[in-house]
Amino acid sequence: MDIKRVTLIGTGIMGAPMARNVAKAGYAVTVWNRTRDKADALSDVATVADDPRSAVAEADAVITMVDNSPVVTEIYFGENGVAEAAPKGALFIDMSSIQPAVARDHAARLEELGRRHIDAPVSGGEKGAIEASLAIMAGGELDDFQDAEPLLCAMGRPTHVGVHGAGQVAKLANQVIVAVTIGAVSEAMLLAQEGGCDPAALRSALMGGFATSRILDLHGERMTERNFVPGGPLALQLKDLENALEVAREAGLKLPLTEQTRDAFHALAHDMAMGRHDHAAYLLWLESINPGKRLGTAETKEPARTG
């Protein structure tokens, strides 16, 4: 199937630059978002739809990039659901991060309606979305992935990792590595400072050795600059860790590092009301359990408080 018309639902931190890159690649793009002004900001490159059903009426592919499983389910099958409004044979590409079991259920329900589905969550954050360098992990039928591959390449580097739901499992594995590594970088940098090292110099010294990682590079810089404006919202990281542990329980696995890191993010999101902070704010939890200790001297930058 030759995909020409693409609808993207969810034009937030990630979805907006993804829509721009899809349009830049030559696709005819339609966007819809629950908050209209976020979609209107894309009117220079896309058609802005008034409602989700009209947004997908002529779509060859429907991309969703939203917060969680209930939102995806509502968009697909709710009162204003798009599953039946899209043309027969349309390919639904869910790039949100949701539970693998829910992704498999969505695939089965869409197949019953004569539509196709792949789950294709991403890693790389806002920077990767802007630069079209996202790691894209896709689960579903190989033929459907091959149809979607040119479109996905407009947003990053897609890999077919297995059957329906496998993309979401791969994303959870990614998020376990990200979260645990954020914790390790936070602890290492605070330890180094208290032992007499300059944290920014430490980060530079470690780059190129065995400790090198994107987390040390990007989030280590966030920590030394004390910049916790997202980025990757902490509440979404917590959601992914909870989903990873749910899959682990179903598989009979015990993941102690993931459990301990989840507990820290839970404390940040709930006890410290920092769910909107970047996930590098793990450092703030670490400082909270080490009274009087603070990494660096920069002013702390946080997202604006609401409510």
Please provide the DSSP assignment of 169-229 as one string: HHHHHHHHHHHHHHHHHHHHHHHHHHTT--HHHHHHHHTTSTT--HIIIIIHHHHHHTB-S
Q: Answer yes or no: are the C-beta atoms of 11 and 41 closer than 8 Å.
A: yes
Mean pLDDT of 64-81: 94
Predicted local confidence at residue 232, as pLDDT: 81
Contacts for 276 with CB less than 8 Å, ≥ 6 apart = 230, 233, 234, 235, 303, 306
Residues marked active site are found at: 171
> Do 145 and 17 belong together in one domain?
yes
Q: 2-49: per-residue pLDDT in tens? A: 999 999 999 999 999 999 999 999 999 999 999 999 999 999 999 999
Lowest model confidence (mean pLDDT) among 24-28, 88-92, 238-242: 238-242
Between 122 and 79, whose confidence is greater?
122
Mean pLDDT of 140-169: 98
Q: Is residue 35 domain-resident?
A: yes
> Do 23 and 139 belong together in one domain?
yes
Q: Answer yes or no: are the C-beta atoms of 70 and 96 closer than 8 Å.
A: no
> Do 219 and 278 belong together in one domain?
yes
CB atoms within 10 A of CB 305: 7
Q: Is residue 113 domain-resident?
A: yes
Q: Answer yes or no: are the C-beta atoms of 84 and 51 closer than 8 Å.
A: no
Mean pLDDT of 278-287: 97
**CA–CA gap between residue 112 and residue 188 (Å, rounded):** 51
Q: Is residue 293 domain-resident?
A: no
- Whether 236 has a pLDDT exceeding 60, the answer reads yes
Tell me what percent of the chain is helix, strand and coil, each rounded to the nearest 5.
50, 15, 35
Q: Answer yes or no: are the C-beta atoms of 291 and 235 closer than 8 Å.
A: no
- The whole-angstrom distance between residue 208's C-alpha and the CA centroid of its chain comes to 27
> Do 44 and 109 belong together in one domain?
yes
> Do 13 and 159 belong together in one domain?
yes
> Do 38 and 175 belong together in one domain?
no
**CA–CA gap between residue 221 and residue 229 (Å, rounded):** 13
> Of 146, 164, 182, which one is at a domain's C-terminal end?
164
Q: Is residue 256 domain-resident?
A: yes
| DSSP state letter for 106 | H
Predicted local confidence at residue 231, as pLDDT: 80
Query: Where residue 135 falls among pLDDT bands split at 50, 70, 90?
Result: very high
The whole-model pTM stands at: 0.88
Q: What tokens does 162 get?
A: 């297995």
Q: Could you tell me which of 110, 19, 112 has the C-alpha nearest to residue 64?
A: 19
Predicted local confidence at residue 80, as pLDDT: 83
- Whether 1 has a pLDDT exceeding 80, the answer reads no
Query: Where residue 286 falls among pLDDT bands split at 50, 70, 90?
Result: very high
Q: Is residue 243 domain-resident?
A: yes
- Whether 306 has a pLDDT exceeding 80, the answer reads no
Dihedral sign, Cα of residue 145, residue 148, residue 152, residue 154: positive
Dihedral sign, Cα of residue 244, residue 246, residue 247, residue 251: positive
Number of domains in the chain: 2
CATH number at residue 100: 3.40.50.720
| DSSP state letter for 14 | T
CATH number at residue 197: 1.10.1040.10
> Do 73 and 145 belong together in one domain?
yes
| Number of alpha helices (DSSP H) and beta strands (DSSP E) in the chain | 14, 9
CB atoms within 10 A of CB 26: 10
> Do 203 and 108 belong together in one domain?
no
**CA–CA gap between residue 227 and residue 221 (Å, rounded):** 8
> Do 150 and 193 belong together in one domain?
no
Q: What tokens does 159 get?
A: 């890999």
Per cent of the chain over pLDDT 90 is 93
Containing structural domain, residue 240: 169-288
**CA–CA gap between residue 211 and residue 144 (Å, rounded):** 38
Distances 287 to 39, 121, 156, 215, 264 between C-alpha atoms, Å: 38, 32, 35, 19, 12
> Do 176 and 146 belong together in one domain?
no
Q: Is residue 234 domain-resident?
A: yes
Q: Could you tell me which of 71, 72, 114 has the C-alpha nearest to residue 93?
A: 72
> Do 64 and 200 belong together in one domain?
no
Q: Could you tell me which of 28, 47, 52, 97 has the C-alpha nearest to residue 237?
A: 97
Q: 181-229: per-residue pLDDT in tens? A: 999 999 999 999 999 999 999 999 999 999 999 999 999 999 999 999 9
Q: Is 61 helix (H, G, I), strand (E, B) or coil?
A: strand
**CA–CA gap between residue 302 and residue 230 (Å, rounded):** 8
> Do 115 and 220 belong together in one domain?
no
Q: Is residue 182 domain-resident?
A: yes
> Of 131, 146, 164, which one is at a domain's C-terminal end?
164
Q: 157-174: per-residue pLDDT in tens? A: 999 999 999 999 999 999
Between 306 and 79, whose confidence is greater?
79
Q: Is residue 212 domain-resident?
A: yes
- Whether 70 has a pLDDT exceeding 90, the answer reads yes
Q: Which residues pair with residue 162 across a beta bridge? A: 139
